[in-house]
């Protein structure tokens, strides 16, 4: 699973990212943490970033992309990732698309947590008031004034990404004003709907059902063909009866297939093959009896 979470400051991206990490065993990629790790490891890209960071300069997108590229090559990325804090602009998104294309990595979805900005400001004001009432120190970056500036930056720089990813059919929108639990459930639901995650039980649990379905189909096909062949060999004088029998076989075979599929979906993978044999055999006998009467 490879995701990007979008949303303004305070939308709950960090909380939902951690829940996805814990549930699916994927890695949360924070550009800030990756930069610090690359500098500490003294990688070629990290050394370039080190000088810029030491001077208080912004790290260019090219270097950030290089650090992401190095990180994507590491073994722990096989299960997927969530990008946190990147991309923030349309040019960054385009550069990321190019990088993923070169590495033959498919981005599954961009999940937007849509929230009411005025409600976010109300939340911060209430939280700050409660902290001050308890005599706690309020962080300098956790005030309505700072949040208002961050929201303005988001609207200018990052919000255009919603249109960018919507055009590429990658955007999935979730109501971020719901409770944390409801948001989590909705994200999991839409990820399952688009096939970004395995159904409950995983691939191993689904394998027996697929195997049983395949075996049952193999059993049903020869039996159905045999019955149809018998019907085609009916005397010419019974031409109408032969056609009716053939139609009956086709109809019975379809019915048998539905029974097999129903058995598999119901979790009875071990009985699916027997169901196929029994249904087709019964259908063939029924057609033979009808032909004899005619």
- Which is the catalytic residue, given 2, 13, 50, 71? 13
Catalytic option among 23, 114, 127, 271: 127
36, 150, 217, 255: which one is catalytic?
150
Answer yes or no: 13 catalytic: yes
Write down the catalytic residue from 139, 155, 214, 265.
Answer: 139
Q: Which residue in 88, 114, 221, 282 is the catalytic one?
A: 88
Interatomic CA distance for residues 182 and 184, integer angstroms: 5
3-state SS, residue 9: coil
127 is catalytic: yes
Task: State yes or no: is 150 an active-site residue.
Answer: yes
Has 88 been annotated as catalytic? yes
CB contact burial 21-60 (16+ within 10 A = b; e otherwise): eeebebbbbbbeebbeebbeeebebbebbbeeeeeeeebe
N- to C-terminal Cα distance for the chain? 60
* One-letter-per-residue 3-state SS of 117-183: HHHHHHHHHHHHHHHHHCCCCCCCCCCHHHHHHHHHHHHHHHCHHHHHHHHCCCEEEEECCCCHHHH
Catalytic residues, which ones? 13, 88, 127, 139, 150
């Amino acid at each position: 699973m490879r995701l990007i979470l979008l949303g303004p400051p305070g939308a709950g991206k960090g909380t939902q990212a951690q829940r996805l990490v814990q549930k699916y065993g994927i890695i949360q990629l924070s550009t800030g943490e990756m930069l610090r790790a690359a500098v500490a490891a003294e990688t070629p890209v990290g050394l370039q970033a080190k000088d810029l960071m030491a001077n208080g300069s912004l790290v260019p997108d090219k270097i950030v992309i290089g650090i992401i590229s190095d990180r994507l090559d590491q073994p722990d990325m096989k299960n997927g990732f969530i990008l946190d804090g990147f991309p923030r602009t349309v040019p960054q998104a385009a550069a990321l698309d190019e990088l993923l294309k070169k590495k033959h990595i498919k981005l599954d979805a961009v999940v937007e947590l849509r929230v009411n900005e005025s409600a976010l400001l109300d939340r911060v004001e209430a939280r700050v008031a409660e902290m001050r009432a308890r005599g706690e120190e309020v962080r300098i970056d956790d005030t309505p004034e700072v949040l208002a500036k961050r929201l303005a930056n988001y609207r200018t720089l990052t919000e255009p990404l919603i249109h960018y990813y919507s055009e590429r059919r990658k955007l999935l929108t979730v109501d971020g004003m719901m409770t944390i639990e409801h948001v989590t459930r909705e994200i999991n639901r839409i990820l399952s709907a688009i096939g970004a995650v395995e159904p409950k039980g995983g691939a191993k649990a689904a394998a027996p059902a697929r195997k049983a379905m395949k075996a049952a189909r193999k059993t049903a096909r020869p039996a159905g063909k045999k019955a149809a062949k018998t019907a085609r060999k009916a005397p010419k004088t019974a031409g109408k009866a032969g056609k009716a029998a053939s139609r009956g076989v086709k109809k019975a075979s379809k019915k048998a297939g539905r029974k097999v599929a129903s058995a598999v979906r119901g979790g009875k993978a071990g009985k699916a093959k027997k169901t196929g044999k029994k249904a087709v055999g019964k259908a063939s006998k029924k057609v033979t009896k009808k032909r004899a009467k005619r």
